[in-house]
Amino acid sequence: MTAAYSIEELRLAAQRRLPRALYDFFDGGAEDEVTLQANRSAFQAVRFRPQVLRDVSEVNTQTQLFGRSIALPMATAPTGALGYGYPGADVAIAKAAAAAGIPYILSSTATASIERIANAVQGRLWFQPYTLKNRDFFWGLIRRALAADCEALVITVDLPVGGKRERDHRNHFAVPFRFTPHNLWDFARKPPWCWRMLRQPFPVMENLIGLAQQQTSASALASSVGRNYDTAFDWDMLKQVRDVWPKPLVLKGILHPADAQRACAIGCDALVVSNHGGRQLDGAVATLEALPDVLTAVNRRIPVWVDGGVRRGQDVVKALALGAQGVLVGRAMVFGTMAAGEAGAHRALAILQDELIRTMQLCGVARLADIDADLLMPVAKTAG
């Protein structure tokens, strides 16, 4: 892993190791993948305007969140089904996050339970309960998160239905999983992956056991979740969550300023500007482009983070310069972990940390508090 110098190199390593269907599942987006690409393009379009001859011999990347210090302005994004690609991937990312001093967000569809992560890792654990039609099961997940002493609850609100992910259709990748000559050949072409997966029981989405009777395989449980997203979940339901959950409540999936204002009024403690990594509504605005209006609507009442497209440490600096308090890191962690398990997860965060510090030094800022819009080249205004 020390030979991987960028998240892109980790992506390529993951691509080499995984069967195509699995790689595309983690890498892909919805429909034409316009939003998937837009997230990355938005970061690439921003330009720095650094100032020089400043003392950057000591760089401080610490920040505050919910009254506690974190070592980097990052958290790992919730990601499901990782055990398909690498055994123990969820625990691996949680351990890497704890070692780096940043929060880890566990997905409902992870292949490790809330309890297993809490017992295995001493770090800042947040939990993302998907909104399910089975309300008793949904509230049960929240009670389990509270019993496991999760620091925060993350409600993802951009998933009333699943997005149309056409790569999965083309690869015959579906839930419940079905074997076809196409995907059997795909798997057979990756013997190391096959060997590692066959040495242990097939992964299970442990948080969801009991959601549907006699559904214990990862694929069957995932199918059950897809049929059980609660399309009726609304602001009144979110208010009920706020009333029940006594700790920080984070709302993930906000793009519209009106929704940001309403979230503040309900009492959410932080927002994540997110379009689900381009995996839901294709054609949705890039998150970095949506960030300024959301920040204006929030007006510094609560922290606003941004999710989607972060591949470089410089992306973190750009997000902070535009007003975000931090970023979620999703696919970067997935690529590292799919390439080399826990070592790859540590490497992904090490790359981002090194690039963050280096970018700050090259831009002439030694503290996160010194990063502001003056660091960026103003967008040229169109005449007329």
CATH number at residue 186: 3.20.20.70
**What are 306-336's pLDDT values in tens digits?**
999 999 999 999 999 999 999 999 999 999 9
- Residue 221: what pLDDT? 41
Whether 172 is catalytic is no
pLDDT of residue 203: 86
> In whole numbers, what is the pLDDT of the chain averaged over residues?
92
pLDDT digits (tens, 9 = 90+) for 214-268: 344 444 444 444 567 899 999 999 999 999 999 999 999 999 999 999 999 999 9
CA distance 30 to 86: 23
383 within domain boundaries? no
Exposure on the CB side of residue 345, measured as CA atoms within 13 A? 26
Long-range contacts of 128-131 (CB under 8 A, 24+ apart): 128/78, 128/153, 128/154, 128/155, 128/156, 128/252, 129/153, 129/155, 130/156, 130/159, 130/225, 130/229, 131/155, 131/156, 131/157, 131/159, 131/229, 131/230, 131/233, 131/237
User: Is the pLDDT assigned to residue 213 strictly greater than 80?
Assistant: no
pLDDT digits (tens, 9 = 90+) for 92-143: 999 999 999 999 999 999 999 999 999 999 999 999 999 999 999 999 999 9
Residue 345 lies in a domain: yes
Long-range contacts formed by 241-246: CB under 8 A, 24+ apart: 241/142, 241/153, 241/155, 242/266, 242/267, 242/268, 244/139, 244/142, 245/142, 245/146, 245/153, 246/146
Is there a domain that residue 384 lies in? Answer: no
pLDDT value of residue 65? 95
Q: What's the total number of domains in the chain?
A: 1
- Is the pLDDT score of 204 beyond 90? no
DSSP 350-384: HHHHHHHHHHHHHHT--BGGG--GGGBPPPPPPP-
Residues 6+ apart with CB under 8 A from 194: 187, 188
pLDDT of residue 214: 39
Residue 2 lies in a domain: no
> Is 245 part of a structural domain of the chain?
yes
Residue 1 lies in a domain: no
Instruction: Check residue 320 and give its pLDDT.
Output: 98
Tell me which of 169, 172, 182, 276 is the catalytic residue.
276
Task: Give the pLDDT score at 198.
Answer: 81
Residue 256 belongs to a domain: yes
Host domain of residue 216? 7-375
Q: What is the pLDDT of residues 33-92, one digit of tens each?
A: 999 999 999 999 999 999 999 999 999 999 999 999 999 999 999 999 999 899 999 999
pLDDT of residue 340: 97
